[in-house]
Homo-oligomer: A and B are copies of this chain.
Amino acid sequence: MKKRVLYLALAMSAVYSSTSFAEDTLMEQAQSQFKPIPNSPPALRNGKTITPEKIELGKWLYFDPRLSKSWLISCNTCHSIGLGGVDLEQTSIGHGWAKGPRNAPTVLNSVLNATQFWDGRAKDLAAQAQGPVQAGVEMNNTPARVERTLRSMPAYVESFKIAFPGENNPVNFDNMAKAIEAFEATLLTPNAPFDQYLKGDNSALTDNEKSGLKLFMDKGCSSCHNGANLGGDSYRIFGVAEKPSNKILPEKDKGRFNVTKKSEDEYAFRVSPLRNIALTPPYFHSGQVWDLKEAVDIMATTQLGIHLTDKENTSIVAFLKTLTGDQPKVEYPTLPPQTKGTPLPITN
């Protein structure tokens, strides 16, 4: 009887050690593939600096609908700070209620992406910010009109001077974009359960979430979705293993091919960053899938050529939900009043 107790104790100890060993390995494996979201913005590329003055000016611009022709649409309309950095629409609605071609990617943690837009056509957030302001189906404005608008408001003029010291003509479209970039770089969501785990807190994930993490790495998801943002830094053909339906991958949108004109980029898209993914349906560039579980199944079949069991899928979704971090705290800015010189809104 004593012997049996001893065996049992030994067996239990072995089980415990092996779990512990597996857990350590899992954490190490994760740490080798992913990085936590930083608490403060990383250095920008091309030597651009982030200053408090640029951030504050950028916040005004981000919330100011007067950057749009109609005065109805701001950056925050399609990338709402309160809704995971997105608009929760299949594809964004813009000037004249026009329906845009693609789903709005989240602004949160977007500074950590290697490129911007679904096709990566913008090299950074400043380049990105210039797009929607001018797009006919978005804000439908022109750089010249935006500049006239900003120059008509003394508080903006003063803020541009302070944010871009020493420049002869600081109120211009490029600086508008740079200030927006500086503000957007602050929109980070650190401290997700997965970040806590990556920093060594083994209790930050449940067993089911850990199973999901393991599957996410072992099945191959993390071969594309890795780094701090679990994506956002490479391109893959959507449907490399099995083509998705026309509804999810509309034929007319050839993705990165539109940028590079290379045949190998047909239907290639930027690998979606997965941070806060539970907050940002509907999924894919076409915005056709509302259910995260369904989106995971589609990824498995189209990109990896595998079928997940219901249990596997559930675990992966549980893991993906651990990517939701602390949402940014932003005080709504009081915007400068327009003047007689401000070009008036045009809504038709």
Inter-chain contacts of A333 with B (CB < 8 A) = 82
Give the nearest-CB partner of A95 in chain B: B97
Inter-chain contacts of A65 with B (CB < 8 A) = 80, 83, 87
A52 interface hit (Cβ, 8 Å): no
Q: Pick the most buried of A72, A290, A327, A338: most chain B CB atoms within 10 A of its CB.
A: A72
State the CA gap A66–B84 with chains docked (Å): 14
Given the known interface contacts A97-B97, A337-B278, the answer about A63 and B82 at a Cβ–Cβ threshold of 8 Å is yes
- The interface bits of chain A over 318-348 (1 if a CB of B lies within 8 angstroms of the residue's CB, else 0) are 0000000001011111110110100011010
Determine if B331 and A89 form an interchain contact, defined as CB atoms under 8 angstroms apart. Answer: no
A279 interface hit (Cβ, 8 Å): yes
Determine if B327 and A82 form an interchain contact, defined as CB atoms under 8 angstroms apart. Answer: no
A307 interface hit (Cβ, 8 Å): no
* Size of A's binding interface in residues, CB under 8 A: 39
Given the known interface contacts A82-B335, A278-B337, the answer about A89 and B63 at a Cβ–Cβ threshold of 8 Å is no
Within residues 54 to 105 of chain A, which ones have a CB less than 8 A from any CB in chain B? 63-66, 70-72, 77, 80-84, 87-89, 93, 96-97, 99
Give the nearest-CB partner of A72 in chain B: B93
State the CA gap A347–B78 with chains docked (Å): 14
A28 interface hit (Cβ, 8 Å): no
A291 interface hit (Cβ, 8 Å): yes
Within residues 177 to 192 of chain A, which ones have a CB less than 8 A from any CB in chain B? none
Q: Which of B66, B93, B290, B327 contacts A347 (CB 8 A)?
A: B93
**In the complex, how many angstroms separate the beta carbon of A137 from the nearest chain B beta carbon?**
12
Give the nearest-CB partner of A280 in chain B: B337
Q: Which of B331, B334, B347 contacts A331 (CB 8 A)?
A: B331
State the CA gap A279–B290 with chains docked (Å): 40
5 nearest CB pairs, A to B: A97-B97, A327-B334, A82-B335, A330-B332, A81-B332
